Amino acid sequence: MAVNIRSLTAGLEYRGEVTGKKQRYFVFEGRKFYFVMSFSKSKRSSGNFNLVSIDAVNYVRRNFAARQDLTAKNLVARSRKPQYVSGALQALNILYVLVALGAATRDDRFRDRELHFNIHPR
C-alpha cells in the first residue's frame, strides 16, 4: 500500500487517550485512518505510531458490540475479516481506538498479562 503522508496527516483531530499496561496512547482521527501514538519511556523525544483503518474500527464496533472480556488475541481468533483484524497488535490498537472514542472500556478485573476490554452496546 502506497501512503501519501500529506493526505494521511491532513486534518488530524484528537479523539482521546488510553492507558495501556505500561504506556499511554494518544488517538487522532484522519480521513481514512486513526493514528495511535505513544512516546518512548526510555528515549526522549521518540515514540511510535500505528495506523488503524476506520473501516476496521467500525467492523469491530458493529460485530463485537456488547462483548465482555475481549482480549486482542480473542478478537483475532473471532474475527471473520482478516483484512481488518490480522494480528494481535492490530487488534489491540483497534481496541485502544474504541476506548478513546468511548465505545469500549478496559476491564481491570483480570490480573493476567493480557488487557481485557468490554465493548459497549451500540
Tens of pLDDT, residue by residue, the chain (122 residues): 566 777 777 789 999 999 998 899 999 999 899 999 998 888 888 889 999 999 999 999 999 999 999 999 999 999 999 999 999 999 999 999 999 999 999 999 988 899 999 999 98
* Count of CB atoms situated within 10 Å of the CB of 43: 8
* pTM exceeds 0.75 for this model: yes
Beta strand 47-53 with 33-39: parallel, antiparallel or unpaired?
Answer: antiparallel
Q: Give the pLDDT of residue 3.
A: 64
Q: Minimal CA–CA distance to 20: which of 59, 53, 50?
A: 50
**Which class in CATH covers the domain with range 5-119?**
mainly alpha
- Which distant-in-sequence residues (6+ apart) come within 8 Å of 110 by Cβ? 69, 116
What are the residue ranges spanned by the domains of the chain?
A: 5-119
pLDDT of residue 61: 97
Q: What is the pLDDT of residue 21?
A: 87
Nearest to 26 by CA among 15, 10, 13, 11: 15
What number of residues does the chain have?
A: 122
Distance separating alpha carbons of residues 102 and 122, to the nearest angstrom: 11
Q: Report the Cα–Cα distance between both ends of the chain, in Å, rounded.
A: 32
Identify the pLDDT of residue 57. Answer: 98
